[in-house]
Amino acid sequence: MENLHVDALVLGGGIAGMQAALDLADQGFQVALLEREPSIGGKMITLSKVFPTLDCCSCITTPKMSAVAHHPNIHLLTYCEMQSVAETGSGFRLAVVQKPRYVDVNKCTGCRKCEYECPVTLPSPFDRGLGAYRAIRVPFSTAVPQTAVLDIENCILCGKCEKVCAAGAVDFTQRAETFEIQATTLVVASGFELTPLNAKKEYGGETLQNVIDPLMMERFLAPTGPYGRVLRPGDGKEPTSIAYVQCAGSRDQTLGVEYCSRVCCMYAIKQAMLISGALPMADITIYYMDIRTFGKGYEQFYQNAQAMGVEFVRGKVAAIREDDEQNPVVKVELTEEGRIIERTFDLVVLSLGMVPTAGADGILSLPLGEDKFIAIPAPNANPCETARPGIFVTGTAMGPMDIVDSIITAGSVASAASAYIREHQKETAYA
Ligand SMILES: Cc1cc2nc3c(=O)[nH]c(=O)nc-3n(C[C@H](O)[C@H](O)[C@H](O)COP(=O)(O)OP(=O)(O)OC[C@H]3O[C@@H](n4cnc5c(N)ncnc54)[C@H](O)[C@@H]3O)c2cc1C
Ligand code: SF4
Ligand code: SF4
């Protein structure tokens, strides 16, 4: 890898990072977009449809990924990890590691022949472990770049992929390479993770097979999903009753996640509507403390779900256990009626909250707020600013938000970063 000199380095290739990179590149700035996974797209490319319009997520995200890859001012760096950052008089110098794909990106055509030959099958992280992929594979059908990556930890070195690859792209001798990026400004777009599925032990996540996380449900519902239908991971049965447990990883002092994650009510309502379409006979119940539909058109969306027959029950779920047939049994306090009931479902989805992705903040020495997301320097500051001049933040690295707000903050971060670069260019010209 050659060293790079750019105006802006964007860290993270989810929707916020991609939009910020495009907005800066369209203004003529040289941008490096650094993503640690083998493909850009972030969480959004794994989703089924988006609330409140129910547009296909892949149809919106894929053109954006392609625009990033083909933009003449964007240097796309996937499967790379930032190792260290130093401040220089003229910006920042980053040491970056290119992790080995064991596939030459300049030769690989994405034909997937290696994948079809490979005998090793592994649970696919893209499908949240529900589907399978091979030890060598193109990460998913619309991955950018469309290049294979080989998982050396699980490879049995049978050599079948190397033999079948007409392009001669498989290269077992590849090693990690370190290179340097100099950038005037940094934009952190490192996104979010879900609160762990097993965070509340009493809900049985990771122990009970038919208690799943909401990104798994997104994969069941996505047209590109592993099965093309909704089923129980425990036995493959089509569920006829499904419960959602709201605030399963938010507004909870015991987890240290005291804030509202903002999107969980909306994604639960969305999924309930999509399931109603996919499984018209299924009963869907959403247990909630409060329903928060904060955005434009979101309240109407909620009302539409009620009209479709989704049952909304105000109640606090205390625990989930399993009966003899692996059916989750939900124990819930009906807060309006003041009584506790137990009800059996085929499948339970825990509406988990958003926590920040770990890593980038530590290397960049950015102070965090009480919620552990990157802190803004002062209450009245631009929320895209951080405590370190020249480093900006966008999307869910700032705090929980939906796609619309992620895109809006990407626009404002691009504007703040471009003003910073221009100011800096003026100073350098006069120096
Ligand atoms: C189940 C579920 C359903 C949802 N449905 C909807 C919906 O229908 N409509 C809607 O508006 N919103 C929805 N959302 C919210 C939506 O997913 C987020 O708003 C959006 O994906 C945030 O994008 P982002 O770019 O901030 O973060 P992410 O998508 O998390 O992207 C961050 C990227 O940064 C990369 N990264 C992280 N750390 C580093 C690092 N150190 N170095 C390099 N790269 C790094 C990650 O690999 C990732 O690619 C849903 C969320 C969930 C959980
Ligand atoms: S490594 Fe070779 S066989 Fe595999 S996708 Fe790339 S070109 Fe095709
Ligand atoms: S060498 Fe490894 S990656 Fe290639 S086909 Fe064999 S097991 Fe799969």
Ligand nearest to the CA of 139: 2
Distance of alpha carbon 409 from alpha carbon 414, whole angstroms? 8
Residue 165 near ligand 3, beta carbon < 6 Å: no
pTM (2 d.p.): 0.96
All structural domains of the chain with their residue ranges: 4-97+176-191+357-430, 100-174, 195-353
Write the residue with the smallest CA distance to atom 30 of ligand 1.
191
Write the residue with the smallest CA distance to atom 19 of ligand 1.
402
Say what the pLDDT of residue 279 is. Answer: 96
Domain 100-174 has CATH 3.30.70.20: yes
Residue 421 near ligand 2, beta carbon < 6 Å: no
Write the residue with the smallest CA distance to atom 49 of ligand 1.
42
Residue 80 near ligand 2, beta carbon < 6 Å: no
Signed CA dihedral, 279, 282, 288, 294: sign only: positive
Write the residue with the smallest CA distance to atom 8 of ligand 2.
111
Strands 328-334 vs 339-344: parallel, antiparallel or unpaired: antiparallel
User: Which tens digits make up the pLDDT trace of 211-260?
Assistant: 999 999 999 999 999 999 999 998 999 999 999 999 998 888 888 889 99
Residue 169 near ligand 3, beta carbon < 6 Å: no
Residue 110 near ligand 2, beta carbon < 6 Å: yes
Ligand nearest to the CA of 160: 3
Ligand nearest to the CA of 117: 3
Ligand nearest to the CA of 113: 2
Strands 74-77 vs 211-212: parallel, antiparallel or unpaired: unpaired
Say what the pLDDT of residue 431 is. Answer: 64
Write the residue with the smallest CA distance to atom 6 of ligand 3.
158
Instruction: For the chain, report the end-to-end CA distance as a whole number of angstroms.
Output: 32
Distance of alpha carbon 350 from alpha carbon 387, whole angstroms? 35
For residue 107, the ligand 2 atom closest to its alpha carbon is: 7
CATH superfamily assigned to domain 195-353: FAD/NAD(P)-binding domain (3.50.50.60)
Distance of alpha carbon 202 from alpha carbon 388, whole angstroms? 41
Say what the pLDDT of residue 305 is. Answer: 97
| Mean of all residue pLDDT scores within the chain | 95
Under a CB-based contact definition with an 8 Å cutoff, are residues 101 and 38 in contact? yes
Under a CB-based contact definition with an 8 Å cutoff, are residues 93 and 182 in contact? yes
Residue 118 near ligand 2, beta carbon < 6 Å: no
Under a CB-based contact definition with an 8 Å cutoff, are residues 429 and 203 in contact? no
Say what the pLDDT of residue 294 is. Answer: 86
- Where does 262-357 show beta strands of DSSP type E? 283-288, 311-314, 316-322, 328-334, 339-344, 347-350, 354-356
CA of 148 to the centre of ligand 2 (A): 6
Say what the pLDDT of residue 109 is. Answer: 97
Residue 364 near ligand 3, beta carbon < 6 Å: no
Cα-flanking dihedrals φ and ψ of residue 266, to 5°? Answer: -70, -40
A 10 A CB-CB count for 135 gives: 23
CA of 166 to the centre of ligand 2 (A): 7
- Which helix (H) or strand (E) segment holds residue 412: the answer is helix 403-430
- Which helix (H) or strand (E) segment holds residue 266: the answer is helix 264-278
Q: Three-state DSSP class for 32? A: strand
CA of 50 to the centre of ligand 1 (A): 13
The ranges of the chain with pLDDT < 50 are: none
For residue 394, the ligand 1 atom closest to its alpha carbon is: 26
C-alpha separations of 367 from 237, 357, 372 in Å: 47, 14, 9
CA of 354 to the centre of ligand 1 (A): 10
For residue 150, the ligand 3 atom closest to its alpha carbon is: 3
Same topology for domains 4-97+176-191+357-430 and 195-353, yes or no? yes
Q: Which fold has domain 4-97+176-191+357-430?
A: FAD/NAD(P)-binding domain (3.50.50)
Tokens for 101, please give them: 């794909």
Site to probe by mutation for ligand 3, drawn from 117, 118, 154, 163 as the one with most ligand atoms within 8 Å of Cβ, is 118
Say what the pLDDT of residue 250 is. Answer: 85
